[in-house]
Amino acid sequence: MTANEPTASGVTAGVHSDADGVQWSHTVAESRLLRALAGASLGVIAATTLGAAVAAVAFTAGAFLSGRYGIAVALLFALALAAARVAPHAAAFRSARSDRLALAHEAFRDSRYRGLAAATAFGAGVIWLGLRLGGVGFFLVVFGTIALPMVAVSVLSSEGDFDPAVGTLTYCGTDVDLAGLDGVRRFGVGGLAFYRLSFVAGAATHRTPRLLVVPAAVDDSLGSALDAGVAADPPASDPTDPAIRATLAAFGVGLLVFAGVLLTVDPSGPNPRGGAVLVYAALVVGLFGAVFLSLAWRSG
């Protein structure tokens, strides 16, 4: 059986089931929610690119009008090179042949250039709001609108298949041995089901997914397979050395503490952007701290 099943949350999941198990796909191509999130992020990027291009053209024209012909010619040459680089990608976007622009093509698959124009207008509004706030506010609004929707798309997107008969699950390209499950927690939001997995000691690696996001169309069958995995006898495995986990955790906690210290530092000097730089540095350091803590947790 093959189906594209819409749900109340705007999720249209590609689901296929046969004698070999169940396969599903919940990506930007199938979900209106994911397309909206990706479009918001791409709109800010498009508006930033367009603004930079308009500024570069205006600066080049101003250089010509003011008689600075050397600078104007150099800028014109740079603009020509940039246009030559962009033109193939624009053609690939129209024909959907570029892997690099696959996300953009899927996000604007139905609306195409109208959707891209609307997203760019939205991005311009975000940039305007960021400029009005200034400093740290600009960073939080603009980069937050780029990053947070992309993180949401990454978390909510999933493709996989499982065969309940043999207890195998492949989630986003990673094989999961269901017999190593120690417990499963489930909660649903709209047309999606979220599964929080825990494993017996040594049955999982840092690559093993702990969170599954699946469409409601495969919720019942996958839930039954996960429950059967919890009830099965776990495979023999060697637990991770506690010293490795302790080292990773220590690095993570240390980086998070340092990020907190950066947020408490009062920027010195006349540069009003010092606070934004400290916030950016704290976010980067905190991100690495979270990565180390995640590795310590996932290696258990």
Cβ proximity of 256 and 209 under 8 Å: no
Task: Kindly give, in sequence order, each residue whose CB lies less than 8 Å from that of residue 114, ignoring residues fewer than 6 positions away.
Answer: none
Residue 109's closest CA among 39, 43, 4?
A: 39
7: pLDDT strictly greater than 50 = no
pLDDT band at 110 (very low <50, low <70, confident <90, very high): low
Q: Is the predicted pLDDT of residue 122 greater than 90, yes or no?
A: yes
Diameter over CA atoms, the chain: 81
Mind giving me the DSSP string for 30-41? TBHHHHHHHHHH
Asked if residue 137 lies in contact with residue 273, where contact means CB atoms within 8 angstroms, the answer is no
The structure tokens 């999130």 sit at: 37
Q: Is the Cβ–Cβ distance between 129 and 184 less than 8 Å?
A: no
Q: Read off the pLDDT of each residue in 278-282 and give the average, rounded to a whole number.
A: 79
Least confidently predicted of 1-5, 54-58, 113-117, 171-175: 1-5
Residue with tokens 């195998």: 168
The Cα 35–Cα 24 span in angstroms is 18
Please report the pLDDT score of residue 125 as a whole number. Answer: 93
Enter the CATH code of domain 2-29+157-231. 2.30.29
State yes or no: pLDDT of 100 exceeds 70.
Answer: no
**pLDDT surpassing 60 at residue 204:** yes
Q: Which of residues 299 and 30 earns the better pLDDT score?
A: 30
- Neighbouring CB atoms inside 10 A of 31's CB total 27
E strand intervals along 200-286: 211-215
CA distance 220 to 27: 20
Distance of CA 285 to the CA centre of its chain: 19
**DSSP one-letter code for 55:** H
State whether residue 194 is helix, strand or coil.
Answer: strand
Residue 79 to residue 60: CA distance in whole angstroms = 9
pLDDT digits (tens, 9 = 90+) for 142-170: 888 988 998 888 888 888 888 777 767 88
